[in-house]
Structure 1
Amino acid sequence: MKKTAAILFSMTLLAGVAAGCGGNGNKSGETSSSEASTAASGAPSGAPVTLTVEVFDRGVQGQPDLNNNKWTQYVNEKFGKPNNAIVEFVPVPRSQEVDKLNVLMAANQAPDISFTYDGTLVTRFAKSKGLYTLDELLEQHGQQLKSYLGEKVLSYGKYDGKQVSIPGKRTLLAWNGMFIRKDWLDKLGLPVPTNRDELYETLVAFRDKNPGNVNGVIPWATAAAGMNYTFGNLVQSFWKTMSEEEFVTTTNWLKPGNKEAYQWLNKLYNEKLISPDFALDKTTKQADADVTNGKVGFYAANWDYPMTQKIRVPLKQNAPEANYVPVDTFKNDEGKYLKEVYNENGIFSFIPKSSKNAELAIKYLNWMADPEVMFFLQFGEEGVNHKLVDGIPHGIAQTGENMQMSNLNMDYTVIVNGAELGDTDKNVRTYAAALAAGDKSYEKLATDSYKINTTDGYSSFNYGVPNEANIKYGKTLGDMNKQMIDRLIVAKPAEFDALYDKLVKEYMDAGGKAVQEENVKNYREVTAKQ
């Protein structure tokens, strides 16, 4: 369900730089004023109002009180006092956040500002009229917030044409990446491959000539279907030209060219060019070991994977000569290197209808959009929480109340996902610096990878409404999808065609057809309003 579009975070800063609802009787769209009175001068007076704000409890070892630390003290000093308010943070276990939110919403006890990464959950709350609509509040008290997020990001928080949540702005959009052993290429006198045919020849050379002189060379490391070691960019390069509606609504299994993509992967498997036991590697543990032991020539994973300590530290120890570089090899018939990237939105913040402080809640989120506020919440004090190197903040690990419990304090900066220094280049450099930890070569690897892996990127289509068939059949289809990929890749070549057709029919009969038909219906309804 994709829409073609050209679009351009433990360590303190590491990864920044991926039910019925009750109400209080208010009508949808009605705004709520803070209980604090306002003096003629506009300064709040009277008893302070308590604004409750959700915060994830990630169970970080040694973490301070999530409601009383350097960051919450800053919030109450800089926002609370001027607004005659006390900002109280309500911890919710990260691993149970959806279940906990359902319980809190049903009991009318959810924090004034609640959040979740589950967009479908927000839509359900809105559909059952459990959320404030925020258009008027944003207009009156959220101009700075609106300006920072922009219309595109805000559009992901709309339901039935109304703003029901505030999506966080995702500052880095790259997702998948591909990496190849440049040192192996150099030994063989081969160029960096730029298309599928060149990659195939390179994989054959890796298999036959074993430039690393390793026991059990693996030309292309793969693992069972999952987030890492995926085939996504390859498969997309086989897809033929489609209308926007066909591209967005059609299940991948029926997209023209998809069958040929898996047939090519089947060929690679049968020619021993990809991990022989990939289907048994459900956690990527084996693929990780193969990479870090210096056995692998090429692999696809998260765009920052070779820069992470999980990979680079053992790789440096086991194969110090190894030099992975990002590569773009999957070019389609139109000469583009299609790859999926993240949508511009991150976490969804919303105000439950049970809240009596909706106006104050929007003021709080609007205050957070101040660049000075956002910088402090993300990076803290210079010399204490970070040091500046060429204008880029490098994190200084902390304990006690100075400690950040999430990357870049993302649980306290819900309007942004990722480092925010004003432009993408600085954001990437900040992330790269955190990954590199002083190693300039890894900084360059990160910046090069980000650039490559946002080229010709597309993000998923924003329907704005849930696909009820997908809610019903999604789990079943997801499990089937993984099994289908594994079976098709390891099948005997002569049996591939019949097996593909058989499995796709079973998939469509198990709910795939219903999901696709609802996609078409929803797509046409959304685009008709545009």
Structure 2
Amino acid sequence: MNKKMLVLLPVLTLLASGLAGCGGDNNNKGNQPTEASSDSTETKGTSGTPVTLTVEVFDRGIQGQPDLNNNTWTRYINENFGKANNAVVKFVTVPRSQEIDKLNVMMAADEAPDISFTYDSATVSRYAKINGIMPLDDLLEKYGQDLKNYLGETVLTYGQFNGKQMAIPAKRTSLAWIGSFIRKDWLDKLGLPVPTNRDELYNTLVAFRDQNPGGVDGVIPWGLAATGMNYGTGNLAESFWGEQSEEEFVTSPNWLKPGNKESLKFLNKLYNEKLISPDFALDKTAKQADADVTNGKVGFFSANWDYAFRQNISEPLKANVPEANFVPIDTFKNDEGKYKKMVYNENGVNVFIPKSSKNAELAIKYLNWMANPDVLFFLQYGEEGVNHKMVDGIPQVIAQTGDNMQTSPQNLDYTLVVNGVELGDQEKNIKALSASYSGLEETAVQSYKINTTDGYTAFFYDTPNEANIKFGKTLGDMNKQMTDKLIVCKPSEFDSLYDKLVDEYMAAGGKAVMEENMKIYEAMQANKK
């Protein structure tokens, strides 16, 4: 997969590489201090008043969560990194739902933590442009060799702006994004095979509608919610897209891609034939779609690759319809015989050091320390028998409240150098990731592998697109409204409505964003020569 061959959202390619030596007996490390590698630059035995290193952490507002500045994980950090460096690591909480707004306020007041982060690359690029964050090349070279080796050149590239390393992107190990699921028990009842292309899916949806294999009131062949929520259209559009040059593909909006109009027309046909949730456009929280699925009314849907296996879906569905069995499928095949789909980019959260920080050296030492496989293992899994149990060589988190609670998957809010399970081997990572879906582990593994096949990632622009900053929210809102309108309109009105809406979209900023994308893309290509 080529990082450049991508669309508008951040996504990833499958990395086979990982940390060596992490896994097997890491669980025996407990709370013991981890020795630094031979080339570590940690300063030990420093006297004097401890330095306070401030580190951002998300407050996700989880019920029963611990004190985010004083828990099992923060005490481990201060015991093993803090004492060795005569430092106190203090965590600055930021509400997850307001992280950009809060970060902007702190940056403007020169009060941002020494180690700050965001998932929004555009925000980092804006800070870089106004000289609000530190270039990290020299610091990494001097204090971050373990970190550089762990992340690798590809991941680090995502934190480079105008040729300088301005951010430290976390390595993302969980790469699947969107998946599709179908009621296998309904297929079996009707004697139908698993559909492998659009035509087969269409015929299956018609059979679900006409024969109602679940015997439910108000059968819904394809469960859909308002655009922008789970229960979307999966990789349907990609199966229609025609050939484009690389530059056209990465710089133009989806609305201008060859075949995109036909993909929406296909959905319009399904809607008008009562094969899609009738009131999907009103379901702006996806709660109705959740209810329809868990009550056994839905035969097929697309959502996050693991959505069908999550407890809030799998448990009520099993209680309501014990025989129900959703399985992952690949059904949107393109003309080349591929199942093209978005996957996540290799990078996760963007970590940076504000220009106002007085502790940049210590900050890089902290991230470098965290790249140690023993440190990562403890922060993700804790102590065996207390925080996790080993099953067939794979650690499984023991869910808890209070001090030992992890408020995010794999404790990612405290493991800033990695997003996702890190056991040093991608197959182990996938098994560990799937272990959280009790009773559905093998199905989850199958879904993960399906949804990282034929994947492509979003193109990374190393310069902020000012037009996108200006028009992005408006265009995002228009995207949702346009899609929903086109699905529900009368078939006779579809062509003219599509053309009209696309013209309005381009006039509202779409053209300006595309033209600036082209300029940035061409400049990046020229710099490579």
Residues 229 and 286, structure 2, Cα contact 8 Å, conserved in 1:
no
- 2:292 paired residue number: 290
Residues 69 and 401, structure 1, Cα contact 8 Å, conserved in 2:
yes
Residue of structure 1 aligned with 2:205, choices 203, 209, 233: 203
Residues 227 and 302, structure 1, Cα contact 8 Å, conserved in 2:
no
- 1:85 paired residue number: 87
Distance 1:59 1:292 in 2: 26
Residue of structure 2 aligned with 1:222, choices 224, 232, 236: 224
- 1:447 paired residue number: 445
Distance 1:179 1:61 in 2: 30
Residue of structure 1 aligned with 2:254, choices 252, 255, 259: 252
Q: Secondary structure at the match of 1:346?
A: strand
Q: Confirm whether residue 485 of structure 1 aligns to residue 487 of structure 2.
A: no
TM-score, normalised to structure 1's length? Answer: 0.90
Q: CA deviation at 1:97?
A: 2.0
- 2:27 paired residue number: none
- 1:7 paired residue number: 13
- 2:398 paired residue number: 396
Residue of structure 2 aligned with 1:176, choices 161, 175, 178: 178
- 2:454 paired residue number: 456
- 1:494 paired residue number: 492
> What per-residue deviation string (whole Å, max 9, x for no partner) do you get for residues 103-155 of structure 1?
22122221111111121111111111111111111111111111111111111
Judging changes above 3 Å, is the alpha-carbon distance between structure 1 residues 529 and 239 closer, same or farther for their aligned structure 2 residues?
same
Q: Secondary structure at the match of 1:529?
A: helix
Distance 2:229 2:347 in 1: 19
Q: CA deviation at 1:2?
A: 7.1
- 2:192 paired residue number: 190
1:117-196 equivalent positions in 2, closer than 5 A = 117-196=119-198
- 1:509 paired residue number: 507
Q: CA deviation at 1:352?
A: 1.0
Q: CA deviation at 1:58?
A: 2.2
- 2:30 paired residue number: none
Judging changes above 3 Å, is the alpha-carbon distance between structure 1 residues 86 and 381 closer, same or farther for their aligned structure 2 residues?
same
Residues 230 and 286, structure 2, Cα contact 8 Å, conserved in 1:
yes
Distance 1:343 1:7 in 2: 6
- 2:338 paired residue number: 336
The residue identity in structure 1 corresponding to 2:13 is I
> What per-residue deviation string (whole Å, max 9, x for no partner) do you get for residues 396-442 of structure 1?
12233222233322111111111111122211211211122xx2xx0
Residue of structure 2 aligned with 1:233, choices 219, 232, 235: 235
Give the CA RMSD over aligned residues: 1.7
- 1:375 paired residue number: 377
Residues 421 and 429, structure 2, Cα contact 8 Å, conserved in 1:
yes
Residues 378 and 413, structure 1, Cα contact 8 Å, conserved in 2:
yes
Q: CA deviation at 1:199?
A: 0.8
TM-score, normalised to structure 2's length? Answer: 0.91
Distance 2:65 2:303 in 1: 31
Q: CA deviation at 1:63?
A: 2.9
Distance 1:506 1:370 in 2: 52
Q: Secondary structure at the match of 2:128?
A: helix
Residues 2 and 247, structure 1, Cα contact 8 Å, conserved in 2:
no
Distance 1:363 1:270 in 2: 60
- 1:47 paired residue number: 49
The residue identity in structure 1 corresponding to 2:76 is Y
- 1:411 paired residue number: 413
Distance 1:401 1:264 in 2: 51
Q: Secondary structure at the match of 2:80?
A: helix
Identical residues among aligned pairs (%)? 71
Distance 2:44 2:346 in 1: 36
The residue identity in structure 2 corresponding to 1:350 is F
5+ long unaligned stretches in structure 1 = 9-38
Distance 2:96 2:287 in 1: 24
Judging changes above 3 Å, is the alpha-carbon distance between structure 1 residues 361 and 244 closer, same or farther for their aligned structure 2 residues?
same
Residues 170 and 417, structure 1, Cα contact 8 Å, conserved in 2:
yes
Distance 1:304 1:42 in 2: 44
5+ long unaligned stretches in structure 2 = 15-40
Q: Secondary structure at the match of 1:44?
A: coil
